[in-house]
Amino acid sequence: MGEGVFLITGASRGIGLATAQLAAEAGYRLVLTARDVDKLAEPAARLGGPDRVWVAACDVRAWEQLAALVGRVEEEWGRLDVVFANAGTSVVTSFTSSQGAPPSQWTDMVLTNVCGPAFTARAALPALMRSGGHLVLTGSAAGRGVRPGNLYAATKWAVTGLAQAIRAECVGTGVRVTLVQPGLTDTGGIPASRLGDPKLAPADVARAVLYAVSQPSTVDVNEILVRPAGQDAYR
């Protein structure tokens, strides 16, 4: 594990940044991506500097950017062992009223949350097959139940199905696939209506990710559902 390479999308804050911290502590070299790389300068320096941490601007909605990035990682560092398809976004929606974001703002969320992990998987899986590596996707507890008017939840339902489809195609390749489904997590984007609800810290989810990737190669942790104590299962 010590010289393994761990790529994280959406690494500039929240779950991605917390996972980067734990992965660095576990000895991984890191590839940290975000749309705004300026936010990654301080964490990159703190987590190991240029010899251990590679910062890259990457928009997961753009297949060409992801494919080029994975190619450069293999060329420069020779391998890719763990890919955490974590980048995501959320807006409040309603299908029956004008509450929440207008439909013109929904497209970015759907592309980021659905095409993003799909493109990440397609770009990374050939490299992960060569290394016998691990693909981790950030889903959500919202991707397991009905949330009235909630398009975000529908995108996470899509990630649930995506993880299952990828896992089925990867049988026999040596690649492990894990879907992490956090409950409400304090990443800075919690709707005002839920600010008083129990919340996970990003580090709580990061520990679940590291648990999955630290298992022996013969163990495939398919899904992890982790909620804060006291969270209503239907919220």
Residue 79 structure tokens: 């391998």
What is the chain's length? 235
Cβ 4 vs Cβ 81: under 8 Å: yes
* Terminal alpha carbon distance of the chain: 37
Q: Which residue has the tokens 């734990």?
A: 22
DSSP designation for 103: G
Residue 95: both structure tokens together:
């299908």
Catalytic residue among 28, 152, 211, 234: 152
HSE of 224, CA atoms in CB hemisphere, 13 A = 20
Partnered with residue 137 across adjacent β-strands are 85, 179
Distance CA 6, CA 20 (A): 8
Annotated active-site residue 152? The verdict is: yes
- Give the residue numbers annotated as catalytic, written as ranges: 152
